[in-house]
Chain A
């Protein structure tokens, strides 16, 4: 069942680099990450790649395979023809550190700018009561493994470094939606989603949903409802009047 596969892997660092060709053994049932590991063990011991669980649960081994944002550990070799060249490159939206490893600190900065869950003032630990149907909406978003593939693919920032400051990306707009839909969160999320995190940049092309390894319906279930909530409030005549009066006072 073994064969020699043609691999083309981006090697280099922040100063530059390029694609290098390799021939490497592939066995039955293997995924792309297995092949990268075999390269490390037999040909290129210093090839840099991030990985942890190798089971699609930690979201560390994100990269682009033939140009598609994917987890290396969940991409099986039998999805390619034996003669096909498999090209593996680092995520394009983030600066390269070395080989397949990128600097994803952008995401951790954005995470920090979203105010945390605000616990209800009147409930002590152990007193929280929520219905399953009510927690399920936010639970879908909490399935996120923070692989940042949605951030990588999102065209608002993929080739637009200039948008990074004002746009938090699908992962973190979804985090705001998750808090907004949390049955007991006491925070106010909608204004900030639009004004500070750039919800308006999203034009719902659903690229993020397409690459999500957890199959979270990011656009349909998080971003669009969030846009509706923001719009409802922004264009609600009573809220509008209230804001006017308060501003005047």
Chain B
């Protein structure tokens, strides 16, 4: 029998970013004993990296804004592939979720009349992003962290124990979900510090593990983004959707090499920054696609007027959705009009006074000054696309965030559907809050419905999970996990990156098969106490599964849409819009299967929010309203 510590909870939340913390707050407030398990220290999750803001149609900066416009923008941004019910809930509930943060102590930037200030962002019709300079994610994570602490203080008052009902297990990694029949019974993991095993006996597990960016070489994501939740869900029998859609953020740093991929916030463009090629041309005017032509300026003069008078001018093309801007930058560099280090110029220095830049974009100012010796108030930045976000994720029921497995929930980046084929900037922080809360409520309701009849954990499952986790120590003379990881990242970047072709994806799949063999034989040195080599070895298994989903779905989808661009199928195809690609694991092993599934048609009253001419660009003839 495996030696381990055991804990019993009602709800276990995996991940301590915005979605995980909001879910945990909800579950605890609904009276459920809740554990938060996270790979890093409490308060370090990837949400801190979010810069620009949190989209919510509060109408503080422009009174015309409302949830319907936010909904319409979100569907447009996702090229109508979004799960419309999720997009609807998100647009409706985002303002309440932001206002709630103020009652937890958040301090957003203000409008002159004392309300929460809102800024412009790509794809959003009105200034909509609640923000704190360019460190909004930090404010969000700290606020939620402090709310967790305040709930613990309440429990201390009542019981004398801070951790009576809500405990954070930091630097603890879950490697396997356990089931009893078709329902979740718990989670198995290890403490990073000691390497010792830990078991959570719990009927409900909420995945809030974020994304998959560490499978790509150039990425804005941190080491934690290894697709753990995606892979855990699949191994537990749940399905993933939309895995072919990966967002390459148009503006990552390109130099020096060691910081390549680090994010440069979209707020630089929202606040007036422009993109130029090596010839000094504002090239984005050449890349406005037909579906967006009506909403974007055709001349620099009109674009510049928009910043002052948005009601009477069309927006600058630098603020097109991210997929469009990323592809445009890619094309300019390929055409030989890139900068010395292979990017394009992003210039705010000629657009705003130096003090204004430092006030509005303080962390960008420091980031460039300290990491690249570039003074963004005096010279342009060099930027290029970087893997930023996965639109795909666990297929969930929109209202409760429940996956296809009983007791398993997913919220935030690890969930799929909300953003369709491309996420708008600012819609991630609001997604975390809206669906984090819903997942917490959904899980609490499910636990309530079980009564005393809880799923049981089997000892054999524990032994199997322990053996699997220790496997990398068993072999000698095998490869180092770091080498395999670097090769995996290079392959995904080169072969399933921003522009894709059938033969390249096939090459990637062949390489992934090869990696699978090598991963089974790799060796880890040292012992179990805080051993990064071992941690990476375990994460690699997840990265491989997720990469296979991305590649297989990308090969199947023969069109270009949002975060999936096929050089051999350059157009958008209305027949494909109706289809989701669903990934699952075959029951007897590791092989990923991908099947087509029909989308549920959009509800009529939501369809009516669009002009028929716009719908005709996306939907098939039969789908259009009469």
Contacts and interface: CB of A to CB of B under 8 A. Distances in A.
Interface in B42-59: 42-44, 46, 48-49, 58
Contact of A125 (B103, B224, B481): B103
A208 interface: no
A117 interface: yes
B96 interface: yes
Contact of A27 (B104, B138, B257): B257
Interface stretch (A81-89, A135-143, A155-163): A135-143
B139 A116 contact: no
Contact of A45 (B41, B96, B223, B524): B524
Interface stretch (B428-436, B525-533, B544-552): B525-533
B371 A76 contact: yes
Q: Which among A31, A52, A54 has the highest number of chain B CB atoms within 10 Å?
A: A52
A108 interface: yes
A97 interface: yes
B257 A55 contact: no
A138 to B, nearest CB: 6
B349 interface: no
A52 to B, nearest CB: 4
Contacts of B58: 126
B110 A135 contact: yes
Contact of A112 (B115, B133, B153, B255): B153
Given A52-B40, A116-B105, A128-B102, A40 B258 contact: no
A192 interface: no
B370 A41 contact: no
Contacts of A104: 41
B610 interface: no
Contacts of A119: 103, 105
Nearest to B193: A97
B109 interface: yes
B153 A130 contact: no
Given A52-B224, A129-B113, A145 B48 contact: yes
Contacts of B100: 125
Contacts of A146: 43-44
A52 B104 contact: no
Interface string B403-414: 000000000000
B524 to A, nearest CB: 7
Interface string B459-503: 000000000000000000000111100100000000000000000
A129 B60 CA distance: 12
A58 B222 contact: yes
Given A117-B105, A128-B102, A142-B132, A98 B530 contact: yes
Interface residues of B, number: 71
Contacts of B357: none
B313 interface: no
A74 B371 contact: yes
A60 B149 contact: no
Contacts of B42: 108
A48 interface: yes
A56 interface: yes
Contact of B49 (A41, A55, A76, A144): A55
B219 to A, nearest CB: 11
A59 B105 CA distance: 21
Interface string B63-97: 00000000000000000000000000000000110
B372 interface: yes
A233 interface: no
B259 A55 contact: yes
A63 interface: no
Interface string A26-65: 0111110010000011100111111111111111100000
A27 B258 contact: yes
A57 B526 contact: no
A28 B259 CA distance: 11
A178 B454 CA distance: 45
A145 B480 CA distance: 33
Given A29-B256, A117-B104, A131-B114, A60 B262 contact: no
B163 to A, nearest CB: 10
Contact of A116 (B147, B263, B481, B530): B147
B48 A117 contact: no
Given A52-B222, A55-B371, A46 B150 contact: no
Interface string A60-95: 100000000000001010000000000000000000
Contacts of B146: 116-117
B421 interface: no
Contacts of B278: none
B223 A182 contact: no
Contacts of B445: none
B258 to A, nearest CB: 4
A13 interface: yes
Contacts of B95: 126
Nearest to B220: A55
A99 B263 CA distance: 30
A112 B99 contact: no
A52 B223 contact: yes
B295 interface: no
B410 to A, nearest CB: 22
B152 interface: yes
A71 B40 CA distance: 16
Q: Which among A13, A47, A49, A215 has the highest number of chain B CB atoms within 10 Å?
A: A47
A57 B532 contact: no
Interface string B385-429: 000000000000000000000000000000000000000000000
6 contacts: A52-B222, A52-B223, A128-B102, A132-B112, A138-B107, A143-B138
5 closest residue pairs by CB, A with B: A29-B256, A117-B105, A46-B526, A116-B150, A129-B114
Interface of B: 40-44, 46, 48-49, 58, 95-96, 99-100, 102-105, 107-110, 112-115, 117, 132-133, 135, 138-139, 142, 146-147, 149-150, 152-153, 162, 193, 222-224, 255-259, 262-263, 363, 366-367, 370-372, 480-483, 486, 524-527, 529-534
Interface of A: 13, 27-31, 34, 40-42, 45-60, 74, 76, 97-99, 101, 104, 108, 111-112, 115-117, 119, 125-126, 128-132, 135, 138-139, 142-146, 179, 182, 185, 215
Given A49-B532, A116-B147, A144-B142, 10 more contacts: A42-B482, A52-B46, A56-B371, A57-B49, A76-B370, A112-B153, A125-B99, A132-B117, A135-B109, A182-B105
